[in-house]
Structure formats: C-alpha cells, structure tokens
Amino acid sequence: MLSTVMPIGRGAGIAACLLSLSLLGGCEEKGAQGQGDAAQGASADAEEAPLYRQWHTVTLNFAGPETSEQAEDNPFLNYRLDVRFTRDEEEYRVRGYYAADGQAAATGAEQGNVWQVKFNPPAPGRWHYHAELVRGDQIAITPDAQGKPVPLEKPRGQFEAKASDGDGQGFHSLGRLSVKDSYFYFPETKQYWLKGGANGPENFLAYAGFDGTYRIATEKREGEASVDTHLHQYEAHRQDWREGDPTLRGGKGKALFGAINYLADKGMNALYFLTLNIDGDGRDVWPYADPDVFTRFDVSKLAQWEQLFEYMQGRGILLHMVTQETENERLLDDGDVGPMRKLYYLELIARFSHHPALVWNLGEENGYAEWAPPAQDDAQRRAMVEFFERHDPYQHPVLLHTHAEINTRQPVLELLLGVPGLDGLSLQADKREHAADVVTKWKRRSREAGHEWLVTMDEIGMWHTGADIDENDPGHISLRGDVLWGTLLSGAAGVEWYFGAKVPHNDLNSEDWRQRDQLWSLTKHALDFFQAHLPWWEMQPCHDQVSQEGAYCLGKEGEVYALYFPHDTRAFAVDLGGIDANLDVFWYNPEKGGELLTGTAPAVQAEGKITLGQPPSRPGADWVVLLRETN
C-alpha cells in the first residue's frame, strides 16, 4: 500500500476514545482519562495530546449541524465529511459519516449534531488531523465537487500513537492485512497468514438485538435454505459470554458476543457474512433505516454492527464482508456503480474500513444463474473493483465469490484475469473431490495472466449438504481430505465452511456453532501445522508426484514437502525426481493434531520414487507427512 492514500472521506475534530474501545484496549490510560478534555478539542500542547496505540481504533467526534436520519436535507447524501490525517510525509484522507448523537449504539438516537470518523494509525508518532464538512446536492457521491463549507467545532487537532509491541489483542497487534505472493500477509509485522472459519450463517447480522432488524416476509424459493420466522438469538452461546465482555444497548447481546468467543476459542479466525440480502436469501440484513429507501441509513444499527466488528477484531476474527448476493446484484442502479451503489459502498468504507483485518467481497455467487435475476456484466464487476481500489484508504483485499460449477464460474472469471485491484477469489466448488483442482487451475490461470490471485476455499458443495453437523458426518473424512488439506496443499489461502441448505443448522437458520465443534478442531489442526512447519508462500503444488488417489503434495524442491495421504493408503510413497537430498520424515495426525511423530523410516535419501515407511499408529487412517531437509 502506498504511504499516501487519498480517497474521499469524512471526519475530524474532537478526539474521544469510546468506552467500548477502551474496554478492548484501544486507548492507553492517559487517552481514556483525557476524554473530557479531548471532547472540547485536542490540545496543541504535546503534553495534552491524547495517547492511542498503533493499529487501534481512534474515534473522533465533531460538533456540526443538527440534523436527523430523515431530515429533508439528507445528511448521508448531501453532506461530505473528509478528514486528512498526516504524520511527517505520510497522509491519509478518510471519509467520515453522520453519527446522530455520537452514542447511537447505546441510545438508539436518530438525530443529533455529531459527525464522526474512525482511523487506525499505521505508524507510531504524532498524528495531526484536519476535518472539512461540506454541503451540496448529492455531494457525498461526487468527491471532486467543492460544495459549501459547513462549520465544525475545532476541526483541527492531534494525538500521539504509541508503537505496538505485540501487547494488543487479536489483529490489533499484527497490523493491517494485505496480500503478497497470492497469500494473506501483514506487511508491518512481516507475517503470512492463513484463514480458517465459518461461512455461515450468511445472515449472521440478522440478530434480534440489533436496532431496526427484522425479516421481510416472502415465500421460500427452491434451492434456498429454510429459515423460520425468528431472527437469530444465538442462545446456545450465552454460556460463552464472560464477565467484562461487551453488551449491546440494554444489556442485550451476551449470546452474540459469546458466539464470537466460542469461534475464537476454537482457534477460528474468519467469519463470512452478508451486509445486504434484500431480495436474497433470508431478507433480513441491510444497513438502511428502511429496506425500500437506499439513501437513508440506520445510524444506531450500524453503530451496533461496529461494536460487534471491533470485538471480532480484538478476538482475531477476520471480517469477511460480503456486500451483495446473486439475487440482488442488480438491486442498486441495475448493477452499475451509480448513485445508490456508490453511497452504499462509501458508507461501508467510512464506518468499517478502519478495521485492520477486513476483506471486501464484491458479491456472493456473482454472475449468471438460471434461478436468479439477470446478473451483472463484466464492465459492472470491473467498476466495483475500481471503486474500492480508489476509495478504500487502507486498500483492503478485494475478492469475488464464485458460482459452484464450471459453466457458470468460468465465463465470469476468464474476463477478470489480470484485472488490477481484484486480489482474488472466494471460491465455491460443487464437488469435494474436484476442489483442489479448481484452486490449482485458477491460481495457474491468474499467474499466467500476470496477476496471480489469492484463492480461498469458502463454499464447498453440494449445495444441499455443504459441511454437515458433526452428528451426521463424524470425522468429516471427505471434508478434511479433499477440501481442507487438499485445497491448502494446492495453494489456497484459507478455508471457510458453508453449512448447506438442507441440513440441520443450515446456512440461514444456524444458531449454534457447537454443532460443528469437531470440524473447527480439524481446521485448527491444519492451520497449526502450516503455521508451525511450512513456508507455504514459497511452496508449489506437486500432486503429480504422489500416485495415490486422494493424496496431495505441496513442496519447495529439495527442502520441504507436505503430503496428505487418505484413508486405506497401503504404500506411502512420493516421486521426488532427480533431486539429491537427505530428508527427515515426520508424521502428523490430521484428526487429533499435536506434535510431529516418527514412523518406521526416520529419514530417507531423495532419489526418484521413495517409500516413506509406515506411520507410528492408526493403521488405515489418513496421515500428513512432512519431509524436511536434514540439517
């Protein structure tokens, strides 16, 4: 990312560390104690400047014009708040937003005179900010228009950012997630990263405790998961909430935050969710005050989403933010990046882009489907990519979710190969046994086009089953072989588990992630192995070097290899060609995880096809083998 990023933005003025953020460790004690002084304007005196931590959220409130969500002079469309943050030669321009009374998450307010911006300082030191609020007809979506200046109280100020030393929680100690070498990467801390987590429920934000949240009644369509009349409660996870964890207004939300605790405690680090499913599956998630009016946003609902997102980041959960789905990809501006889509994206960027680990997903199952309305075209997809590339001040990864089958997936993806700004694919595949091949194909095709994609295996078929509950699929044998290990050893940057449409706890009505407790453990074992033992970003798939059906290989020639062998493997063998190396042989249990083990052949001489001996236990079970150059 460039050190100077200048998309349009809003916000500036009065430094304030919100209570919810201080509970999460976002502010140093000095900053929290100085909140009253900050609310009157940041002092120019270095001794009085509020103190925050690098990569943590800084929230600035500004007193501006009194207005409301439903004001005739629309505060979302006819005002634009830009805040310029500078440190030495570094500059960010960040969009702010209308925040009602500045505490809408707690008060439910729809009116007030507070305009707000959020910023995560990427570097330690003294940061200065300057906010400008302008007014004009549709000026929010016309970034080059000058507009009429609107006064703000104390639009200039400064604060100090303390260098992170790894003392934060979750992603606040790692920096901002990016993409490098077609994998996730934290450039500030120089760490590659793999994701593993939940792809459902996709309407995760349809939670009963959020303001303005309800379900639009329609008949269920063929091929859609069943959904009852009730919004999500997540009561099964109330037990996972702990004293001191946040709640929503009125003490609500314990089960919601408990659900995040459960997922994080299981070692999962990603969650896929829709921010707009009007006309789609569920029809219960949108950012608007009214689902029929696309220019008015629900300030308190979005502030409550922010409470949740901040907590997820603190617990190390990636925000996989899916901005539309196949049924509604032409809902806004008939699919164009026109006024309504621009406003929608800009509000998401203004309110949530400060989070360090966030992925913009341009659309679930994007493209033609015979059971869906007309799809967006290639020009419209490219316009979405370009919009995020231009307007996201932090340049978060941008992905596109695919259809499951080659005849609907390939026509879309072939036209997008080499497009700058599209970082990769959120992949759906219908057949488990083909998942690794699909990952390998699009990694190769994109590399040949000059811009190799990051590919994550996010939705495995078949559509009706996906990843079933533990009770119905003990051990998840095919999922852990062909999908989990198969795709990771094919160059995938992570896996998320889709719950299926026709199973208990499906992708719309699931309330209890414990129903797949074993699946999360299996996923964690794979992530642990990769993180501890492999430079996976330097390795390439080498499946043709293992002849066993259902076996997979990832290797760095002559140095390190990871191989998965399925159940009932009789001869554990690999053909390493003409290399000359001594390799130590270690065995890893993909079902139970744990330490590396030694089998009957502790080391081998790599010359052509070699046998690796037998595993130390579990005859007939699947195994992962690590071959590592002998020191």
pLDDT, residue 144, reads 85
Instruction: Provide the terminal-to-terminal Cα distance of the chain, rounded to the nearest Å.
Output: 37
Look up the pTM and report it.
0.92
* Phi-psi region at 209: left, alpha or beta (left = phi > 0; alpha = psi -120 to 50): alpha
What band does 218 get if pLDDT is binned at 50, 70 and 90?
low
CA 416 centroid distance within chain: 21
pLDDT, residue 372, reads 83
Query: Do 200 and 503 contact (CB within 8 A), yes or no?
Result: no
CA separation for the pair 185, 395 (Å, rounded): 13
The values of phi and psi at residue 91, to 5°, are -145, 135
pLDDT, residue 116, reads 98
Average pLDDT, stretch 184-213? 97
Average pLDDT, stretch 299-323? 98
pLDDT, residue 280, reads 95
CA separation for the pair 570, 303 (Å, rounded): 57
Average pLDDT, stretch 498-515? 97
80: which 2 tokens? Answer: 């634009």
pLDDT, residue 170, reads 92
The values of phi and psi at residue 609, to 5°, are -80, 125
pLDDT, residue 24, reads 33
Average pLDDT, stretch 33-61? 64
Average pLDDT, stretch 445-458? 98
The values of phi and psi at residue 554, to 5°, are -130, 130
pLDDT, residue 225, reads 54
The CA-CA-CA angle for residues 295, 299, 300, to 5°, reads 145
Q: Does the pLDDT at position 27 exceed 80?
A: no
486: which 2 tokens? Answer: 């198969």
pLDDT, residue 270, reads 98
pLDDT tens-digit readout, 51-72: 999 999 999 999 999 999 999 9
pLDDT tens-digit readout, 547-569: 999 999 999 999 999 999 999 99
> Which domains are present in the chain?
4-168 (2.60.40.10), 178-538 (3.20.20.80), 540-629 (2.60.40)
CA separation for the pair 477, 30 (Å, rounded): 52
Nearest-CA neighbor of 364 among 336, 334, 323?
Answer: 323
Q: What is the DSSP letter of 250?
A: G
pLDDT, residue 48, reads 78
pLDDT, residue 168, reads 64
Q: Does the pLDDT at position 14 exceed 60?
A: no
pLDDT, residue 165, reads 78
Q: Does the pLDDT at position 574 exceed 70?
A: yes
Q: Does the pLDDT at position 622 exceed 60?
A: yes
Average pLDDT, stretch 147-171? 91
* Phi-psi region at 396: left, alpha or beta (left = phi > 0; alpha = psi -120 to 50): beta
User: Average pLDDT, whole number, for the chain?
Assistant: 91
Please compute Rg for the chain using Cα positions.
25
Q: Does the pLDDT at position 480 exceed 90?
A: yes
Residues 6+ apart with CB under 8 A from 245: 254, 257, 258, 261, 311
What band does 451 get if pLDDT is binned at 50, 70 and 90?
very high
394 to 156, 178, 353: CA distances (angstroms)? 22, 9, 7
Name all contacts of 533-538 with Cβ < 8 Å and 24+ positions apart.
533/560, 533/562, 533/596, 533/626, 533/628, 534/560, 534/562, 534/626, 535/560, 536/183, 536/192, 536/194, 536/488, 537/180, 537/181, 537/183, 537/185, 537/192
